[in-house]
Structure 1
Amino acid sequence: MMKPANDTGPVPAGPDGDDDIAAVKQAARRAAMQARAAIDPAGAAEALIAHFDQAFPDLAPGTMVSGYWPRTDELDLRPLLRHLAARGMRTCLPVVAGRGWPLLFRLWREGHPLVPGAFKVMEPMQEAPIVRPELVLVPLLAWDRRGMRLGYGAGFYDRTLAALREDGPVLAVGAAYDGQQMDRVPTDPYDQPLDMMLTERGVVRFSPAP
């Protein structure tokens, strides 16, 4: 298990506190990226599918599940998304609408065309319908046993989960390697917690699933 570069615990509010937590998070991101780059992905895709099926044996056909298109050495969810489509689930991918905005989600399954979007991440084309996911598989750099995640710093998923939760029930499931776990992820008041964590080692529940 990796440790944050400088975990100082709760950070005071105000401009100085904001600067402090930003620096702590940046140091933690650097450590998390180095730790993830050293992880061997062999066998992770198959294990992920098995653990998902065990955690959600009764997930209804037609349930809308959001994945993500992997970049660099992120955990690859594409085999899981193919499996979910075979189980009768509907799948979608996130689309960046603009800085400071929540993500949009467009319907997608294997074979549908993709185009490079913001940050050169592949996204469904604009012709793909906008949908609302019921289960969101959330990418991350690091996670902890409180259900907190460390993202890339743009705040897209925090804004998105906040908006989805205001709109109705949604299940936020972090997706990453077990080796991306930290003792304690540095957080601020805007960070949205996860409901569950899915790794190649199993599933961790942070709160009762709806």
Structure 2
Amino acid sequence: MISSADKPALRARLLDLRGKAAQAKPKAGALLAETFPGDWVPETSVCIAGYWPLAGEMDPRPLMARLATAGHSICLPVVVGDGQSLEFRSWQLGDALERKALGVMEPLSHQPVCQPSLLLVPLVGCDRSGNRLGYGKGYYDHTLSALRAARAIRAIGLAFDCQMVADLPADGHDQPLDALATESRFVVF
């Protein structure tokens, strides 16, 4: 069993693997979008939260384009502050973005706030139980906890195959994923 004290070393190892996978598989985001199962896409138009990828992250933009073409609204996360839930603002292809802390690209402040029904979640690692390892700030854990307390919501991690591991440490505040999509598979937890 991996302990929480092992998270920094595990995070560093998985970030290295992810970086190598991103270089070796530049079309992985397009593959993921093509194979993303239709039964996980809501039939009625809803707001779906994506993200603008940081270096090495699985690129969700092809999937976001597919979902937008299907009639869904797309929003992107905005960091409000440490220890707080993310806010989601409307975004469409071609809308301007601004670079914020840690290089995160966010919609402009005048964009309307959205309440997503489905979240596409970046990650560093994921295990077979749906436990997610992020960057360590807890933004998605706070966000998912608040959203799930209000209503039913699905969270789907997007990753490269190499980011799925057998076991990750999970603390009481960690929020599990409902599914994981990679360039070659879709795993439901």
The two structures have a TM-score, normalised by structure 1, of: 0.85
Are residues 1:52 and 2:27 paired?
no
In 1, Cα distance between equivalents of 2:169 and 2:94: 39
Are residues 1:201 and 2:184 paired?
yes
Q: How does 1:182-193 map to 2 (within 5 A)?
A: 182-193=165-176
In 1, Cα distance between equivalents of 2:73 and 2:45: 5
Are residues 1:126 and 2:109 paired?
yes
Amino acid at match of 1:101: Q
Residues 44-94 of structure 1: CA deviation (Å, up to 9, x unaligned): 12221122244436x224211111111111111111111211111110000
Are residues 1:176 and 2:150 paired?
no
Are residues 1:158 and 2:141 paired?
yes
Residues 2-26 of structure 1: CA deviation (Å, up to 9, x unaligned): xxxxxx44x5xxxxxxxxx2x3110
RMSD: 1.4
Contact 1:135 1:171 in 2 (8 A): yes
Q: How does 1:82-121 map to 2 (within 5 A)?
A: 82-121=65-104
Which residue of the partner structure matches residue 13 of structure 2?
Answer: 31
In 1, Cα distance between equivalents of 2:176 and 2:102: 24
SS at match of 1:25: helix
Which entry has the higher C-alpha Rg, 1 or 2? 1
In 1, Cα distance between equivalents of 2:20 and 2:103: 23
Q: How does 1:4-83 map to 2 (within 5 A)?
A: 8-9=1-2, 21=4, 23-39=5-21, 40-56=24-40, 59-83=42-66
SS at match of 2:119: strand
